Chains A and B, each alone.
Chain A
Amino acid sequence: MTKAKLSDPDVRDRLIATLREVQAEKKAVHVIHFKDRWLVLNERSPGRRKSFEDKDGAIEHARGVARDRRFDLVVHGRDGSVQQVESFR
Chain B
Amino acid sequence: MPPRPDGFDRNVFINCPFDSEYLPLARALAFTVLACGFRPRVATERSDSGEVRVEKIRELIQSSRLSIHDLSRMEPLRTDELPRFNMPFELGLDLGCRHWGGAHLKRKQCLILDRERYRFQRALSDISGSDIRAHSNDPEQLVQQVRSWLRVVSKEALPAAGRLWERLSIFRSHLEIMLGREGFSAREAEALEMTEYIDFVDTWMRTAEDPTR
Contact = CB atoms under 8 A, between A and B. Distances in A.
A46 to B, nearest CB: 4
**Interface size for chain A: under 10, 10 to 19, 20 to 34, or 35 or more residues?**
20 to 34
B140 A78 contact: yes
Main secondary structure of the interface of B (DSSP, over half): helix
Interface in A8-45: 11-12, 14-16, 18-20, 22-23, 26, 28, 30, 32-35, 39, 41, 43
A35 B161 CA distance: 10
A79 B24 contact: yes
A7 interface: yes
Contacts of B181: 18, 22
Interface of B: 24, 28, 138-140, 162, 165-166, 168-170, 172-179, 181-184, 188, 191-193, 196, 199-200, 203-204, 207-213
Interface of A: 4, 6-7, 11-12, 14-16, 18-20, 22-23, 26, 28, 30, 32-35, 39, 41, 43, 46-47, 49, 74, 76, 78-82, 85
8 tightest Cβ-Cβ pairs between the two chains A and B: A46-B213, A19-B178, A80-B169, A43-B211, A47-B213, A18-B178, A22-B174, A32-B169
